[in-house]
Amino acid sequence: MLDTTYNVETPEGIDLRARAAGPVPRILAFAVDLFYRTLILAGLGIALAFADTAGIGIWLVCSFLLEWFYPVFFEVLRGGQTPGKKAFGLIVVNDNLTPISWGTSIVRNLLRFADFLPFAYATGVIAMTIGRHFQRLGDLAAGTLVVYREEDKAPIALPDSSPVPPPRNLKQQDQRALVSLLERHNDLSEARQQELANLLEPITHKRDGAALGYLRSVGSWLLGGRG
């Protein structure tokens, strides 16, 4: 099955997950950035039209800087996003999902000339298409990849309850189910929540409203409440 999920386990044992971006959104993001660079160069060309040879020299220098360091500037100083990538919710990161650095960004962008060969970034598109994580040659050399930026989720409003430590015989799978119940309390009716709470009666020795109130307190403790 096609799976665009990219998983990394940190030395601390924490699992990180991201969705790798495919060729189509990356090409569209590149087109947006190319449009912006073209507008800037066109504006410079008009402004320097009366500077004769010096104007041509300045325009060529600016053209070089825009071509090779425009993406580096945004990737390092703007959270891994050029304007084009930001428009499509993409972000450049290291392959361990940490923020990209100056050296890494320079390597991946200078190697765009290899991805361009033989014309129109054909090699880069082929590399992204056949690669598992859609990395072009510059990404492979620099150890980077382009993923979708996850939007920050609004904190879930939890029911007001005093934290209570869970019973010792509460299994890990039951703890996960309990936390899920607590997080979904706005989506479930009170009767349905009590019905689910009654499933743990052999552990809690409580039923209905008393069972639900107790589980809410335990769930609050599991989510970090220690009051």
Spatial distance between the Cα atoms of 162 and 96, rounded to a whole number of angstroms: 39
Q: Other CB atoms closer than 10 Å to residue 85's CB: what's the count? A: 27
| pLDDT per residue as tens digits for the range 160-202 | 677 777 776 667 777 777 777 777 777 778 888 788 888 878 7
pLDDT less than 50: residues of the chain: 1
Burial class (CB in 10 A: 0-12, 13-18, 19+), 63: middle
pLDDT of residue 226: 55
Q: Would you say 93 and 145 are in contact if contact means Cβ atoms under 8 Å apart?
A: yes
pLDDT of residue 84: 96
Q: How many residues in total does the chain contain?
A: 227
b/e code 64-73 from CB counts within 10 Å (16+ = b) = eebeeebbbe
pLDDT of residue 104: 95
pLDDT of residue 135: 94
